[in-house]
Amino acid sequence: MDVTALLDLDSLDKEALKALLIRDRRSKAHEIEHLKLVIEKLRRMLFGAKSEKLTGELEQYELQLEELETTEAAEEAAEENSAESQPASAPRRRPRRKPLPADLPREVVTHMPEHGCCPDGGGALRQFGEDVSEQLERVPATFKVIRHVRPKFACNRCERVVEAAAPSRPIERGLAGPALLAHVLMSKYGHHLPLYRQAEIYAREGVELDRSTLAG
């Protein structure tokens, strides 16, 4: 039975609730690491002679790990949304994201400002730089990277900087485009293809998207 089910949460103060959440997160992290070790051991045992029983066990552990990582990613997203409405604090460190493969075709979409002149001083605009971000998108049977370019302009009279707003993404600061997200979700829930198998398929196509990234 879940320990938290035995507690009267209404009777706990803010610090006690925080401690309970931290303990729960540590427990999940420990379970994820344990499952990773078990999966790695089963993979080594499968090397050479295959066993249907071991294969079935491995798939069950992979699915269990996938569900835990998906739940953890959802909790982290909820915490980030909650933190945005709270006073600024020390930013949480995230694992460094691998750059997208350079050999993928790039489609450049340039977002120009709405105004053709400075909205404050009315002067002509000169470009002095640009912000570039990349979004991984999927098209049938291949991947492509959409590079969003937003040129920066400055007013010749008042030095006001003018730039187009950043385009919205399905997931805030997420790497995946809408078509890729739809493909991942349909493959998982429509075709019952686990995330770790999808990751293997993408790897064969030259794109490294591990299970934890897909779960996020």
CB-based contact 76:67 (threshold 8 Å): no
* Beta strand 161-163 pairing with 106-110: unpaired
* pLDDT tens digits, 28-62: 777 777 777 777 766 666 665 556 666 677 777 77
How far from 113 is each of 27, 30, 119, 135, 160, CA to CA, in Å?
48, 48, 10, 20, 13
Find the mean pLDDT for residues 174-194. 85
Find the mean pLDDT for residues 143-168. 91
Domain boundaries in the chain? 3-84, 106-167
Q: What percent of the chain has pLDDT over 70?
A: 74
At residue 6 the predicted structure's pLDDT band, cuts being 50, 70 and 90, is very low
Least-confidence region, from 34-43, 71-80, 137-146: 34-43
* pLDDT tens digits, 86-126: 655 555 555 567 888 899 999 999 999 988 899 888 899 99
CB-based contact 62:195 (threshold 8 Å): no
CB-based contact 138:183 (threshold 8 Å): yes
At residue 155 the predicted structure's pLDDT band, cuts being 50, 70 and 90, is very high
99: left (phi over 0), alpha (psi -120 to 50) or beta: beta
- Asked if pLDDT for residue 3 goes beyond 50, the answer is no
